């Protein structure tokens, strides 16, 4: 278990990248980069706080 959170180096520029959503739609970093930057969060899909709640019908 990680006890010390590493500090981010905010001074570097990330290379442009493309991520696809589950339906295959592409998202390019440079298309979404704002003047204050862009936050990309990689979360685990089995974590209880990240799992989409089931909808009962």
Q: Are 18 and 27 in contact (CB under 8 A)?
A: yes
33 located within any domain = yes
- Angle CA(12)–CA(13)–CA(14) in degrees, nearest 5? 115
Q: Is the pLDDT of residue 53 over 70?
A: no
53 located within any domain = yes
Q: pTM higher than 0.75 for the full model?
A: no
User: Residue 11 has which token pair?
Assistant: 């001074």
Q: State pLDDT tens for residues 18-50.
A: 988 888 999 999 998 888 888 877 777 666 666
11 located within any domain = no
12 located within any domain = no
Mean pLDDT over 6-29 rounds to 85
User: Could you give the CA distance from residue 44 to residue 20 in angstroms, rounded to a whole number?
Assistant: 16
1 located within any domain = no
Predicted local distance difference test score (pLDDT) of residue 54:
59
27 located within any domain = yes
Predicted local distance difference test score (pLDDT) of residue 8:
73
Predicted local distance difference test score (pLDDT) of residue 48:
67
Total of domains in the chain: 1
């Amino acid at each position: 278990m990680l006890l010390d959170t590493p500090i981010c180096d905010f001074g570097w520029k990330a290379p442009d990248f493309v991520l696809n959503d589950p339906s295959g739609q592409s998202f390019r970093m440079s298309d979404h980069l704002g003047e204050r930057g862009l936050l990309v969060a990689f979360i685990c899909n089995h974590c209880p706080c990240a799992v989409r709640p089931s909808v009962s019908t």
